Amino acid sequence: MCRVLGCDDLASMRRLGWTLNLRSGQPLFHEGDPANRVFTVTRGALKLYKLLPDGRRQITGFMFPGDFLGIAVDDEHAFTAEAMADSQLCWFPRNRFSDFVDAHPNLERELYRIAAHELAAAQRQMVLLGRKTATERLASFFLGLLARVEKTEGPTRMIDLPMSRLDIADYLGLTKETVSRVLAALKSKRIIRLDALDRVEVLDRLALADQGEGNGAE
């Protein structure tokens, strides 16, 4: 029904997939759940997060159409996945997926490639969380989203934000209030414009890059 990975020679896999729809706010699975399926996002947007026992939350990533969701250790989900907007996914039973992977060495390699990319992204996020200021975090966040949009849709200055301020805060290791304040500051400096609450226009990408990449003195 739908494809799970981007590999061109995997079209045959489409026949094995089921479709699943999620309403905004609905969880796909929880941290600790047995990971007996693998997914590809086909529509919408999800957030992935981990919770501390007292409720503090860290969002470890956002998923958009085309993203693969199924890397797991010991067949157990390491995070919760929840729809931020009405979403559609394609899924396979994991054991069937494993069989399929066994039969297709290229797919194994593709899977590894995806994991390596996610690892590199996680390392960049560690730098952000450990060492960047609030302004730098927001700037990096927007540049990352922009790069992602432009990869599929070509050059643009508009970014859609399917996530709330709280989600952004929990992704960047800040509070929603700080996110609001930094957005206000970036607006007043004419670096961004808020077309709507959930839609940002990047007015000055160079200034944003300056702020985002830790070039020392502003």
Partner DNA sequence: CGTTCGATTGAGCTTTCTCAAGCACAGTGG
Partner DNA sequence: CCACTGTGCTTGAGAAAGCTCAATCGAACG
Interacting residues with DNA (CB under 7 A): 133-135, 164-166, 173-181, 183-184, 194, 197
What span, in angstroms and rounded, lies between the C-alpha atoms of 133 and 8?
A: 41
CB 95, CB 73: distance < 8 Å: no
Question: What share of residues in the chain are helix, strand, coil (percent, to 5)?
Answer: 45, 25, 30
* 185 binding a second copy? (CB under 8 A): no
Question: Could you tell me if 37 and 91 are in contact, meaning their C-beta atoms sit under 8 angstroms apart?
Answer: yes
The minimum distance between CB 126 and a second copy, in angstroms, equals 5
The DSSP letter of residue 55 is: S
What single-letter amino acid sits at 75? D
Min dist. Cβ of residue 81 to DNA (A):
18
Site for a second copy in 101-140 (CB under 8 A): 102, 105, 108-109, 111-113, 115-120, 122-127, 129-132
Q: Which does 175 bind (CB under 5 to 8 A by kind): DNA, a second copy, none?
A: DNA
Shortest Å distance, C-beta 145 to a second copy:
18
Q: Which residues contact 121 (CB under 8 A, 6 or more apart)?
A: 61
Angle formed at CA 51 by CA 137 and CA 169, multiple of 5 degrees? 25
Nearer to DNA, 48 or 183 (CB): 183
User: How many residues bind a second copy, per CB under 8 A?
Assistant: 45
Binding stretches for a second copy (CB under 8 A): 50, 52-58, 60, 71-73, 78-79, 102, 105, 108-109, 111-113, 115-120, 122-127, 129-132, 170, 172-173, 213-217
